Amino acid sequence: MVTDRRKFSQENVEQLESNSDGFIHLDRNLRYIYVNNKTDKLLDRGRATMVGRSINDLMPELNPMILKAGRKAMEENKKQELEIYSELFQIWLRLLVCPNSDGVSVYYMDITKRKQCEEVLRQSDERFKNIFQNSKIMMAIIREKDDCHIEVNQTWLDVMGYSREEVLGRSLAELNIISGISQVRWREANQRVRNKEKLFTYEADFRTKNGEIINTLISTGPLQLNGEACRLSSVIKDLTREKNLEVELCRLDRLRLAAEMAAGLGHEIRNPLTSVRGFLQLFQGKAEFADHHSTLQLMIDELDRANVLISDYLNLARDKQVERSEQQLNSIIMDMYPLIQADALVRGKSIFLELTELPELLLDENELRQLLHNLVRNGLEAMEPGGCVTVKTFLDGAEAVLAVADWGVGIKPELISQIGTPFFTTKVTGTGLGLSVCYSIAQRHNAQMEIDSGPDGTTVYVRFKVS
């Protein structure tokens, strides 16, 4: 046994020799004083030949890091910890370098398996982050204890319109993203996750930053992140388009029903009405009915109203022939102006035109006159005396736009989606067919109708594609 080994008590030597971890004792010049059995086997040089030699001679690969740690430990009289990889031995080592009276003691252990596990976890974490951040579906990680977002992916931010700084650390309730029946489902999902159910799927309406409502199918499940209980919430499907399609199909179905009613009954009802109206006019001209003149006129007015209603039905017919030709939209508006202005003056209101030069469009003049008349009439009926309806035309990219704006009280936001549905109306005496006719005309012209309404009035946009 080497003489320097006697620096350690027999008890210490036995403990160091049986230890599965390595041990090296170096003097103040960082020369070997003692190495245990583990180190002897690892270096395979013979302990007798190592004592008194510099660590730089025997472990040049690890020398710079160990030398630096050893000198620092002696200078600061403070233990140093480091992890290093040995290319020579193909292992990871964790070193604890402790200063003592005659140098430093180096304790080390093989941490290769731990490092391999950490690498597997790191790669797994990296893959999760890549999937999370690059996913085309909305994903959010929510802390269980306070329902706050601790991470959201870019798709979530793009769809909802928020910045990351606005979202992180705040809950859905604070952001006012979810409301109504969706809140009940959200709370139920949270409770199921707390009850350790693996996955819960439910529908919810999300409100974006700009106020748009999107219908979503959400999947929520438990997630442990850094030892903290969380939930991973994923929007597995955006149902907005499907919900809108359902509404549109419902509207089209009612249009179809109205069209079938128009085709089956319109002409048959009109004929007897015309006969009755003719006899009433005849009676008005007879002296013996002079006392009943006002009553007869009222009956004629009601028949005329019924005739207008039948005309609206007929305008909804799906097989209506459209004779489109190149027309100037502004010319049609100018031709209509005296008529709509007279209608406005009778009601104590006015019409203002703001027309911009447009290219010629493929239009059916009679249908466009009907469209304009209905939109202006709706605007006039929505206002008190003294109000003004503005008729504008302008170009917006590849679209020519007709806009009719009024000064009315506007339409409630929850009713906007129902506007244009046959038989739905916000007016006491309305039939709900006027705007339905407008939608049908727009559809036959491959145009889009949009409604923008607020407390200061309503604007209806009709967007025609410029060929």
Sequence ranges of the domains in the chain: 3-113, 135-238, 243-315, 325-465
Please return the burial class of 172, using the count of CB atoms within 10 Å of its CB with bins 0-12, 13-18 and 19+: buried
**What is the assigned CATH class of domain 3-113?**
alpha beta
List the structure tokens of 408. Answer: 């009315």
CATH topology of domain 243-315: Helix Hairpins (1.10.287)
DSSP string covering 330-356, please? HHHHHHHHHHHHHHHHHTT-EEEEE--
* Residue 193 near residue 220 (C-beta atoms within 8 A): yes
CATH 3.90.1560.10 assigned to domain 135-238? The reply is no
Please provide the average confidence, as pLDDT, over all residues in the chain: 79
* Residue 235 near residue 138 (C-beta atoms within 8 A): yes
Question: What angle is formed at CA 318 by the lines to CA 317 and CA 319, rounded to 5 degrees?
Answer: 95
- pLDDT tens digits, one per residue of 219-247: 777 777 777 777 767 665 665 666 666 66
C-alpha 343/C-alpha 452 separation (Å) is: 24
C-alpha 26/C-alpha 39 separation (Å) is: 13
The beta strand positions in 420-456, using DSSP E, are 448-454
The answer on pLDDT for 193 being more than 60 is no
**pLDDT category, 52, cuts 50, 70, 90?**
confident
* Residue 134 near residue 127 (C-beta atoms within 8 A): no
* Residue 223 near residue 141 (C-beta atoms within 8 A): yes
| Dihedral of the alpha carbons of 365, 368, 369, 375, in degrees to the nearest 10 | 180
Across the range 275-280, mean pLDDT stands at 85
C-alpha 253/C-alpha 428 separation (Å) is: 24
Across the range 103-131, mean pLDDT stands at 82
Task: Check residue 355 and give its pLDDT.
Answer: 95
The beta strand positions in 160-257, using DSSP E, are 200-207, 213-225, 228-238
Alpha helices of 316-433 — where are they, by DSSP H?
A: 329-346, 365-381
- Higher pLDDT: 436 or 280? It is 280
Across the range 203-220, mean pLDDT stands at 79
Task: Check residue 5 and give its pLDDT.
Answer: 47
| CA atoms within 13 Å, Cβ hemisphere of 93 | 22
* Residue 389 near residue 432 (C-beta atoms within 8 A): no
**pLDDT category, 405, cuts 50, 70, 90?**
very high
| CA atoms within 13 Å, Cβ hemisphere of 456 | 0
**What is the assigned CATH class of domain 325-465?**
alpha beta
* Residue 112 near residue 91 (C-beta atoms within 8 A): yes
409: region left, alpha or beta (phi > 0 left; psi from -120 to 50 alpha): alpha
Task: Check residue 404 and give its pLDDT.
Answer: 96
C-alpha 434/C-alpha 455 separation (Å) is: 22
The answer on pLDDT for 425 being more than 60 is yes
Q: How distant, in Å, are the alpha carbons of 84, 270, 297, 434 from that of 267?
A: 94, 5, 24, 19
* Residue 457 near residue 384 (C-beta atoms within 8 A): no
Identical fold between 3-113 and 243-315: no
Task: Check residue 447 and give its pLDDT.
Answer: 93
* Residue 451 near residue 395 (C-beta atoms within 8 A): no
Task: Check residue 48 and give its pLDDT.
Answer: 72
Instruction: Give every CB contact of residue 461 below 8 A, 6+ residues apart in sequence.
Output: 401, 402, 403, 449, 450, 451, 452
Task: Check residue 285 and give its pLDDT.
Answer: 84
* Residue 186 near residue 172 (C-beta atoms within 8 A): yes
Percent of the chain clearing pLDDT 70 (strictly above): 74
Strand (E) or helix (H) holding 244: helix 240-284
Across the range 369-396, mean pLDDT stands at 92
